Chains A and B, each alone.
Chain A
Amino acid sequence: MNKASRLEGFGFIAPLLVLMVVAFNAPIVYMLGLAFWEKGRGFTLEHYEGLLEAPVYLRVLGNTMRIALIATLANIIIGYPLAHWMRGLGRRGRMIALAMVVLPFWVSILVRTYAWIVVLGNGGLVNRALQWSGLTDAPVSFLYNELGVTIGMANVLLPFLVLPLFAAMTRIDDRLLQAAASLGAPPRTIFWKVYFPLTLPALAAGALLVFILCLGFYVTPAILGGGRVPMISNLLDTLINQIPRWEQASAISTILLIVTLLIFAAYRRLDRKASA
């Protein structure tokens, strides 16, 4: 009976399954295979060997990870206090703050990225304010460097960190904190010994999610990096669209996929802990 109804259910998801296999899994397998199989020549590892011989592409991958790490740290530094502050708000305050965090989701990433040019450019709002107040004489270069890319990426990804963190923080029982206080712990100790450890799994899970999303960023580095911040997606664009060496792009994508999957496995472990 149970088995039969399970089979019946399968009938409902079969179309979706077929769609996923045909439209998603099959192309990925094909893409992975491109680097190993060449028409008329059979199996080859030369595209991976090429990566080792000229490690510049791997260095771009390393650079991508470094920038993803910086952007993730920036997100934590902004996001953690923000989520904590939101927890302390009243019902209405929380609603408004949440709306403010989620609102940027409704604006296209392209528009948001271009908006930074208006804000941070040499003739932008921030630089004009800085010069008007006499803090600087010459405009500060916020854009077209790693700083600009980091700001743009942190802005786009902040909700991915704040939302799970805020959810975990609101689940923390106030009585635990009161109990710690009643035992004589000063606020600092309560934070580090009770509060922070309880939020840590959600923080780690959110940070890993942000990190993984950073690895694949294309638009933000392309616009705010000014071509001076090499990242792997932009390199893949060159290899796929301009050169076009799909085999090499496939080898790099495979390495990127493996790295991402490893990080995702870590994320799953932490996420399970966080929701337990």
Chain B
Amino acid sequence: MKRRTFVGAAAALPAVSLLSGTARAQVKEIRMIESGGKSGESIEVGYIEPFTKKTGIKVIRESPNSLGKLRALVESGQTSTVLMELGSGTLVQAKNLKLIEPIDWAAVNPAPMFPEARNEYGFGYQYFSTIMAWRAGAKAPKNWAEFFDTKAFPGKRCLPDFPHYSLPFAVMATGVPADKLFPLDVDAGFKKLNEIKKDIAVWWKAGAQPPQLMKDNEVQYVICWSGRVVGDPAFGCNFAGGMADLSYFSIVKGSKPEDRAAAYKLMYEMSLPANQAKAATVVSYTGPSPELDALLPKDKLSEFPSSKQNKAVQWFQNAEWWAANGEAVNKKWEAFKLGL
């Protein structure tokens, strides 16, 4: 009797595991790693909500999205996380390190997108800009030469503690036009930064720092991400000469095929201009649809990184150059910081 129950149980085992196998094939939830904050909320409101409504699949968000985390995920052989948000530079790095896989664009079948957002390895879902801003009341600079002129525009500066967000602007301040910026004259950039280093009070690592430091009147001029300052009467800002950049979603290497299929459906939701307009109500960063401008509030067009008027006066980050030279520049950056 005892034995027979045992045999019966053993016979039932494969059937049970088969059942759970099919249950797993119907994905109930997928996991993504994104950059957090308002941007994460905008993903939730703009894309995840309509996606879950249509498919019944939940999306679990996690942050922050460091490249080290992705490397740890892939090297440990995980299969649970399928989507990873990457910057344009980290996308190339991740591709070179073989941490992400190509996107099956036929499976995504997206609505029309700007061409640069349709990367072999990444779905460019969000435009953001790195621009100059100042505390209301400070004299407004019109270009980078003026921004770096601490005599004519006195005040403390706050610059990104990332060479790829700070150096190009320093080079532009020496008179190099945007279309001749790359290959970047790194030494000219450091020379310019050295000239004004006494006036750079803080080098920021977190995007929330520059607006707060301006409000505290610790600094008067900053280089920061557009979404942190536009539309706030406490600040002035200028997209001219700013750097447009894209954030991407990529497919993590080793993730499950059924998770990927769901991820592609979520990417499709990200390509719809109506959803992008909803996301833009949460944060002033914009999606990759060329038709988006028509859906955005007219009086706010000047605040968005990819609206026609702003896109025209900015230049695009050169991710390939940074992927090839980033590490060497970073060593110089550390040496420069030691000399502050």
Contact = CB atoms under 8 A, between A and B. Distances in A.
A57 interface: yes
B205 A228 contact: no
Contacts of B335: 56, 59
Given A54-B331, A226-B201, A242 B338 contact: no
Given A121-B216, A144-B202, A59 B161 contact: no
B214 to A, nearest CB: 12
Nearest to A124: B216
B330 A238 contact: yes
A240 B68 contact: yes
Given A241-B66, A245-B327, A230 B338 contact: yes
Given A226-B202, A227-B205, A243-B330, A123 B67 contact: no
A242 B66 contact: yes
Contacts of A144: 201-202, 218
B216 A60 contact: no
Nearest to B99: A244
A117 B218 CA distance: 10
Most chain B CB inside 10 Å of its own CB: which residue of A59, A121, A243? A243
Most chain B CB atoms below 10 A, which of A57, A63, A226: A226
A230 B326 contact: no
A59 B338 CA distance: 8
Contacts of A246: 68, 71
Contact of B337 (A117, A227, A243): A227
Interface in A97-126: 117, 121-123
B105 interface: no
A227 B71 contact: no
A147 interface: no
Contacts of A123: 216-218
A122 B66 contact: no
Nearest to A228: B340
B315 interface: no
A227 B202 contact: yes
B203 interface: yes
Contacts of B161: 227
Interface residues on A, range: 20 to 34
Contacts of B340: 228
A143 B156 CA distance: 13
A217 B202 CA distance: 19
A59 B335 CA distance: 8
A64 B221 CA distance: 29
A122 B326 CA distance: 35
Interface string B39-71: 000000000000000000000000000111101
A275 to B, nearest CB: 40
Nearest to A242: B67
B331 A242 contact: no
B327 A243 contact: yes
B165 interface: no
B67 A241 contact: yes
Interface in A211-247: 222, 226-228, 230, 235, 238, 240-246
Interface string B152-180: 00000000010000000000000000000
Nearest to A117: B216
Nearest to A240: B68
Interface in B303-340: 326-327, 330-331, 334-335, 337-338, 340
Nearest to B337: A230
A222 B205 contact: yes
A227 B71 CA distance: 26
Interface in B177-223: 201-205, 216-218
Interface string B215-234: 01110000000000000000
Contacts of A241: 66-69
Nearest to B89: A242
B331 A56 contact: yes
B202 A228 contact: yes
Contact of A60 (B66, B327, B334): B334
A242 B89 CA distance: 10
Contacts of B216: 117, 121-123
B128 to A, nearest CB: 18
Contact of A122 (B203, B218, B327, B331): B218
Contacts of B203: 226-228
Given A226-B201, A226-B202, A60 B338 contact: yes
Interface string B62-91: 000011110100000000000000000000
B245 to A, nearest CB: 16
Contacts of A143: 218
A67 to B, nearest CB: 12
B338 A56 contact: yes
A174 to B, nearest CB: 50
A227 B66 CA distance: 19
Interface of A: 54, 56-57, 59-60, 63, 117, 121-123, 141, 143-144, 222, 226-228, 230, 235, 238, 240-246
Given A226-B202, A243-B67, 8 more contacts: A54-B331, A222-B205, A227-B204, A235-B334, A241-B68, A242-B66, A243-B93, A244-B71
19 contacts: A54-B331, A56-B335, A60-B334, A60-B338, A123-B216, A123-B217, A141-B201, A143-B218, A226-B201, A230-B337, A230-B338, A241-B68, A242-B66, A242-B67, A244-B66, A244-B67, A244-B68, A244-B71, A246-B68
